[in-house]
Structure 1
Amino acid sequence: MIRKGIKLLLQTHLGITEVYEAATGSGVMQELREREYSHIILDIILSDCTCLEIIPNIQQLYPELKIMVFSMLNGAVYGEALKQYKIYYYLEKTSKEEDTISFLDEFINHHKPVPNTSSGQTFINPFNQLSPRELEVLHYMLNGYGTKDISSTLNLRMTTVSTLKNRIFDKTMTSNLKELMQLASLYNVN
């Protein structure tokens, strides 16, 4: 539904008539192989992966492609992580329609990206310290995946996943998954 809303905004307010959709990471990669794109708008959570898993491949294969992320997840956390990939366009789905249109216009027409100030709050978010890889592991931890499943899904060694999980607990100052889930809920991190 959100994809259709963005498509409608792009068509009606920005005059962009060719808008294609993909619901999965593999679908995104397939679309990129089939057509030449100048811009792409991703959600953090796709049905088969997170965008953090495919962004490195996208950037390697299509270095000129402009990337924006539009998600329900906390911009204070994920927006900062995306900056490590040189992605400065992050907008929360809870933004007002006029702000979304303005932000899309800035993104499409190559205006300088502006920081997302939708929350207006200044606070220390313990998840801001996590690397993109740690955020990937965090996502799967919060969705009930164990070390073995995370290892298989992200194609990492189990020892690497264990190390990343320990770093996540250290950086968030939590000692178990229950505490981590409560903290993630408090900061709207999924």
Structure 2
Amino acid sequence: MRKILIADDHSIVRLGTKQVLCSMPDAMLITEAKTFDEAIFLIEGQSFDLLILDINMPGGNNRQMIDAVKLRQPGIRILIFSAYDEILYALNYLQAGADGYIEKNSPDEDFRTAINTVLMGEKYISRAVRELLIGKFTGQQEHRNNPFTVLSPREIEVMNLITKGLPLIKIAEILHLQLTTVSTYKTRIFEKVGVKNVIALIEKAQMYKTTSHLA
């Protein structure tokens, strides 16, 4: 029997995820966590085959979540199940040690495929992310000219918190960085993306989130 842990702070998402899991042929024992701290507590007490993890929940909202989980259970498989655009975030979390990344608006069949792929010990990425990855390795320019693809993993984390309206001092606390370091990251992000303020950054991020799947 497969032991699955769903970590998401929205009850409706946990319910929908359970329904998808229960529709699959393999027997599964499903456990739920509403916060990242609760997920870590459960992981410390029992073994799981798969963690289905939201990356924006109380107690956790950055790549360090992956390290925290793997430190306690190195063999656990992690499937990121997020509302965040995979074009902007998937590669960063895969590089951090996640085994797959799928958006919450994906069809049920794609979600099942992602679960099966990860449980079989393979990495799961969508076609859009696969094309982006190939482009990076072949040196080809990303065909959508998405400015966010040039941001580093840490810059992505800082940008995510900035667009939530958090002050720089709070971001520094969350990411365990100096305030001056966060300020430098903010300046770099604005320069790379080509914006001058947070509102423009949010608008541009939304624009590329909307158009990132278009040919």
For the criterion TM > 0.5, the same-fold answer is yes
Give the SS at the match of 2:118.
helix
Q: Report the number of matched residues.
A: 188
1:92 alignment partner in structure 2? 103
CA distance in 2, matches of 1:59, 1:173: 36
- Map 1:6-85 onto structure 2 (within 5 A): 6-85=17-96
1:135 alignment partner in structure 2? 156
CA distance in 2, matches of 1:21, 1:160: 36
Deviation, structure 1 residue 105? 1.4
Deviation, structure 1 residue 149? 1.4
1:181 alignment partner in structure 2? 202
Q: Is 1:168 paired with 2:178?
A: no
Deviation, structure 1 residue 83? 2.5
From 143, 148, 159, the equivalent of 2:180 is: 159
Change (3 A) 1:59 1:6: same
1:118-139: per-residue Cα shift (whole Å, max 9, x none)? 6999523222222332222112
From 108, 114, 123, the equivalent of 1:103 is: 114
Over the aligned positions, Cα root-mean-square deviation in angstroms equals 2.3
From 105, 117, 126, the equivalent of 1:116 is: 126
1:44–1:51 Cα contact (<8 Å) kept: yes
TM-score normalised by L of structure 1? 0.87
What is the percentage of aligned positions where both structures have the same residue? 28
Structure 2 residues without counterparts, runs of 5 or longer:
1-11, 133-142, 211-215
2:52–2:79 Cα contact (<8 Å) kept: yes
CA distance in 2, matches of 1:28, 1:16: 21
Change (3 A) 1:2 1:14: farther
2:94–2:101 Cα contact (<8 Å) kept: no
Deviation, structure 1 residue 74? 0.7
Structure 1 residues without counterparts, runs of 5 or longer:
none
Counterpart code for 2:125: P
Give the SS at the match of 1:184.
helix
CA distance in 2, matches of 1:30, 1:117: 34
1:47-69: per-residue Cα shift (whole Å, max 9, x none)? 33314231122223322221110
1:25–1:51 Cα contact (<8 Å) kept: no
Counterpart code for 2:108: E
More strand by share: 2
